[in-house]
Each structure stands twice: as structure tokens, then as C-alpha cells.
Amino acid sequence: MERGLSGARILVTGGAGFLGSHLCERLLEQGHEVTCLDNYFTGQKKNIYHLLENKRFEVIRHDIVNPIFLEVDQIYNLACPASPIHYQYNPVKTTKTNVMGAINMLGLAKRVKAKILQASTSEVYGDPTIHPQDESYWGNVNPIGLRACYDEGKRCAETLFFDYHRQNGVNIKVVRIFNTYGPRMHPEDGRVVSNFVLRCIRNEPIPIYGSGNQTRSFCFVDDMIEGFIRMMNGPDEFIGPVNLGNPVENSILELAELIVRLTKSGSRLDFLPSVMDDPKRRKPDIAMAKEQLDWEPRIGLEEGLKRTIDYFRGESVVR
């Protein structure tokens, strides 16, 4: 049974990861009972150390490819490696996490009548042929490429969410997350923001895959978490999928130059061959999120990067 806006029992899968740890923190601040479930593949215990003293916080080491029986009111399903080097490390496992994990979490939601939110991704649009991407676009994904375990896994998870909704009446919410960054990104996950910040702090060359003219749109973590919570607590009829991201588009070269300036780094650019199926442009159309959730990002790239740089400097990542 739902327990209103405060005091709900909430499960966060992938709760020790980058986004998951921020979400657990915000939900605890709102007065909820939070269970963090994680297998620590890419998450880190230190992301949640500061939450362990809270009596409303509980941690379970578990892999979502296996079933689990819990009693909860809401589930945020975030468990899945998100950076290309991590999800390509064991691609079969990535597909299993997305597909079997979704089945297990949807089965749990069905059994206990919990509301469940899926952390989907802009990768369902693949290398998009329309720009910016809105939710009606079906995408352009290579089903056999190196990114397919993640892209197709996430697409199949969306299919499962909508089929559990139609077939079993499960109360679902699907958000499509565009590139999000901030404190607690894994320092070695190779994602563009964490990698560039780290390289600049260390005064090491910045790897640019391809020309650097490919674009992304970067959202600060606090804005993303606000979007998740608004989506979860919005009207039941609004199930998504809805894009969440910052519509301000930057090339990878612009990002590199900005991070060099903010860190006052001496790093130079190191141009490397482009990687397989790297999307050339990515920018969310967030009209639906604005209209349905009254949500849009508030923190600009420069401000968000400063906070991220401060975090990485404090993490003693300088060698």
C-alpha cells in the first residue's frame, strides 16, 4: 500500500552507484525508508557510507538477475553499469541485468503492488537520425554492435515495463536519461566528464575520440534526481517514456576546452580514432517533461562542472 509522500518504503536498485546514491540521499531527506540494493559491480560502498547511520536506511548486497522477495511501496530500478567501458566489459551480463533484472523487479512490483520507475536511456535512440530527440522517435540502434548489449537491453526493458503494465496492470514509470554528471561518478569509468576532469587535474593528455565534433547534452545530477522524484510521484496515468536531460548541446571539443579553463590545466588534446557506433549528436526535447512534470534543469554546465571538479579534487585522484 502506498504511504504518501513521506514514510514510504522505497527500494533503489543500483543504490550504491552514481545516480543511485544521490537518489537514496534525497529520499532519506524526504523522510522515507530506503533500501539500497547493489552488487557493487560499478557502485562503491563509499558512495553510501554517509547514509549508513540513518535508521531508515538499509543495504542489501544482491544481484538483480536473481529474484528477491521484499515488501516495498516504490521501486527505482537503476541497477546497470552505465559507462561504455563497464557495460562492454561483460556484455552478456549487461543484457542479463537489463532483461532478467527488469523481469525480477517487475515481478516484485506486481506481487506487492508497488509503483516502479525504470532508468532508461537516450541510448534507446541509438545514433539518432532526427534532432533533437523526442519520445515519439523509435531510434536507430545497431542490434549487433558493441553498444547493443546496453542499448538493446534497455530497449527490451522498456518493452517489458509496458507489457507488465498492459498485461498485469503494474504501475510503471519510464524515464529516458540523457548524459548526467556530477560528484560520485566513478573516477575510472571513462565517461567523458569524469575522464576529462581527471585528466585535467592530473595535467595528462585529454583523449578525444574522433573529431570531437560529436555532441552531447549534459545534465547535473541534482536536476536529474529531481526529475526522477517528480516522475515517480506524478499522476499514475503519466507513465512515460519521458526524456530527462539538459537540452543545452555541446561538442566534446567544447566540453574539453571548458574543463581545461575551469581547472586551469595544462593538458593538451590527444586525438584518437573514433569508437564503434558512437552517436554523432544527442540532445533531448524536454517539452513533455516540462508540461507533465513542470521539470527542467536549473544548474548550468559551468556551475555543475565546478562542483564536479571540487569533488574530484577532494577525492585525492591526483597521482
Q: Which residues are catalytic?
A: 150
Of 10, 24, 32, 43, which one interacts with ligand NAD (CB under 6 A)? 43
Residues 6+ apart with CB under 8 A from 277: 126, 127, 142, 145, 146, 147
By beta-carbon proximity to ligand NAD, the closer residue of 118 and 265 is 118
Nearest residue (CB) to ligand NAD, 79 versus 265 = 79
**Distances, alpha carbon 248 to alpha carbons 79, 217, 237, 282, in Å:** 27, 5, 29, 10
Per CB under 6 A, the segment of 125-133, 173-181, 260-268, 301-309 that binds ligand NAD is 173-181
Q: Which region, judged by CB under 6 A, interacts with ligand NAD, from 41-49, 166-174, 225-233, 246-254?
A: 41-49
Distance, CA of 167 to CA of 234 (rounded, Å): 22
Q: Which residues, including other chains, have CB under 8 Å from residue 203's CB and lie 6 or more apart?
A: 265, 266, 267
**Residue 177 contact, options ligand NAD, ligand UDP, none, Cβ 5-8 Å cut-off depending on partner type:** ligand NAD
- x/- letters, 86..115, toward ligand NAD (CB under 6 A): -----------x---x--------------
Taking the C-alpha atoms of residue 103 and residue 262, their distance in angstroms, rounded to an integer, is: 44
12, 72, 82, 206: which one binds ligand NAD (CB under 6 A): 82
Determine if 14 is a binding residue for ligand NAD (CB under 6 A): yes
- 118-294-255-317 Cα dihedral, nearest 10 degrees: -60
CB burial class (10 A; 0-12, 13-18, 19+) of residue 169? exposed
Footprint of ligand NAD (CB under 6 A): 13-14, 16-20, 38-43, 63-65, 78-82, 97, 101, 119, 121, 177, 179-180, 186
